[in-house]
A and B are shown apart, each in its own frame.
Chain A
Amino acid sequence: MEKTIRRFWPVFVLPTFAAFLIGFVWPFLQGLYLSFCKFTTINKAQWNGLKNYIYTLTESEFLHSFWFTALFTVVSTICINVAAFAIALALTRAIKGTNIFRSVFFMPNLIGGIVLGYIWNILLNCVLTLLGQPLLQLSAPYGFLGLIILMCWQQIGYMMIIYIAGLQSIPNDYLEAARIDGATDRQILWRIKIPNVMPSITICLFLSLTNGFKLFDQNLALTGGDPNHLTEMLALNIYQTFYGRAGAVWKGYGQAKAVIFCVLVIAISVFQLRATRSKEVQQ
C-alpha cells in the first residue's frame, strides 16, 4: 500500500510543497541571507558581514522595544491565564447560563487585531479624557496598560475554552474519590484539577507567550508605537525599520532584527514547551 501511495506524490504533496516553497522556505532562506547584506531591493544586495547585527544590538530603540515586549508578554500571560482559568473553573460548575457566558467571553477572538485596536483606542481615550488624563498616544504607561487590557479582553475567552476542555476531561472518579477521602475544595483544586489540566496549561502558556511576543496589529492600531516609539513592540519596531525610514542601511538592519526576533520566538517556544511538559502527569 505504501508503495502505491508513494507513486502518487505529485498529486498529494506537490501542491502544498510548492506553495510552501514559495510562501515560506524561499523567503525564509533569502531573508536569512539578506540579514548579512546592505540592500534596498533584493537584487541589489551587497555582503555586509555582521555589521547589521552589531548595529542592531546596540540600537537603544530596539533594546527598549525588546524590554517593553518582554514585560508586556510576562504581564499579559499571567493576567490572561489566571483570569481564564478562574472563569473556566466557574463555568464548569453547574450554574445557569454557562453557555451564554462562554459564547460572550469567546466573541472578541473572532474580531481582527486592527479592529480591536481601534475599538479600544476610542473607548480608552474617552475614559482618559473624562478623567482628565493624557491620551493613549501621549503617555507610555497608559499605552502599556491599554495594550494589556486589550490583550486580556481578546485572549481570555480563547484560553478559557481550552481550560474548560481540560477540566471537563478529568475523570469524575478522581473528584469523587477525593471528596470521599475528605479533601477540601482547595485541595481538590491544587492536587487534582491543576495537575490534570497541565497539558492545557502548557498549550495556553505557549499560545499566550508567543501571541504576546509577536503582537503587531493591536499595537499598530492602539498606540502606533507613540509617544516617540516608547510603546513600540518588537514586531512593530521591525516593521518601522523596514518601511518607516529612508536610506540604504535600514532594510539590512530590519532584516537582522527580524532574524534575532525569529530566534527569540523559537527559543521561547522550545524552552517553554520543555519546561511545562516535564510537569505533566499521565492519566
Chain B
Amino acid sequence: MSDDEDDLILSELNDEELVEQMFDDLYDGMKDEIEEGVTILLERGWAPYRVLTEALVGGMTIVGHDFRDGILFVPEVLLAANAMKGGMAILKPLLAETGAPTIGKMVIGTVKGDIHDIGKNLVAMMMEGAGFEVIDLGINNPVESYLEAAAAEKPDIIGMSALLTTTMPYMKVVIDAMIEQGIREDYLVLVGGAPLNEEFGKAIGADAYCRDAAVAVETAKTLIARRHNQRAAG
C-alpha cells in the first residue's frame, strides 16, 4: 500500500476525489499539497469562490469540529491553518478580481489590561481558515481602538478576548460605549477567553460567548446567516 500512497498524483484524481484528498491534506497540515490542489481546481475551471468554500472551508470545518471534540489540539490546528493560508494566498487576488461575495469580516483584539494572545490568535486563524477576513488589533486594546477599527473597517463582527478574571469586565465597557454611540446593533459582538462563560456573555450584552476557536467560527457563521435572513425578510 505504501507504494500506492507515494504514487498518489493529485492531478489524476477527479474533482470529487481531489476535494476529499484536500480535506485530508488540510487535516494533516500539508501546505504544498493544498496549494497544488487549489491550482488544479482553478485550472479545471472552478470559480475561486467555489474552491474556497467547497475545498478549503469544507476541510477546515472538519478540523474545527475535531478541535471542538478534543480529537485535534492546537499544534495540528495551527498546521492546518497554515496550509489553508497557502491556498488562500493563491485565491485572494482572484476573489477580489471576480468580485466574489465575502464570507464576513471580523475585527478582533484582547481587551485593555490583558496581554494574553494565544487564544485570540487561534480564533483569528480559525476564522481566516473559515474564509473570514480578520483584522487583528493585537493585545491591550482600549475602547477607542475597537470603535476606530469598527468605523474604519466596517466589520460584521467585533471579537473581544480576555484571559484574566480582572480584565473580562472591560468587555462590558466596550459594549456600553457602543450602545452609547448607537452603533451596538451594527455589529455582532462575540466574546471569549478562559475565565468566561455563557452567563457572563449574556450579562454584559454580547451576542454570544464562544468557548473555543471552533465554536467561534460556528457561532459567527450562524449569526451572520441569521442576520442576512432577517435583513432579507425586513
Instruction: Judge: A and B partners, yes or no.
Output: no
- Residues of A near any B CB (own CB < 8 A): none
Task: List the interface of chain B (C-beta within 8 A of A).
Answer: none
